[in-house]
Amino acid sequence: MLDRAVLFGIISSGITLAVVLELVRRRRLREEYSLLWLMTALVLLFTGSNRALLDWLANTIGIYYPPSALFLIAIVFVLLLLLHTSTVLTRLTQENKQIAQEVALLKEEVRRLKAESPTAPVTTDDPTP
């Protein structure tokens, strides 16, 4: 007989697996970011459905109630997901800053070239004064 906590873990990891696959299918989540989510769901599904493995893992770690080990695994994977997201966010922030600086330099160069050349056509779509 499965414990309610283990059953909840199996159901929630199955739902997580289905949601991640659906998000990838609809191209709402990129494959490279879905790998940790898929791995998390599969590990929780496998660990939750194998009571002997869960008992052994809990005993090895020193956890009295084996289903708590399932939630410990989930917390560890969520922390890994947060770390991965933070590194991606940091990289994107740095790239965004660099692109903004390059655009500002290009706008200044275009403004300077327009000021130097009196025969340059004037466009109205340039938002800079």
pLDDT at 86: 95
pTM tops 0.85, yes or no:
no
With contact defined as beta carbons under 8 Å apart, do 51 and 20 qualify? Answer: no
Q: Is the pLDDT confidence value at 106 over 70?
A: yes
Residues written for the chain: 129
92 pLDDT band, cuts 50/70/90, is very high
When the pLDDT of each residue in the chain is averaged and rounded to a whole number, the result is 88
User: Which pLDDT value is given to residue 109?
Assistant: 95
pLDDT score at 124: 57
For the chain, the maximum distance between any two Cα atoms, rounded to a whole number of angstroms, is 86
Instruction: Note whether 73 and 43 are within 8 A (CB).
Output: yes
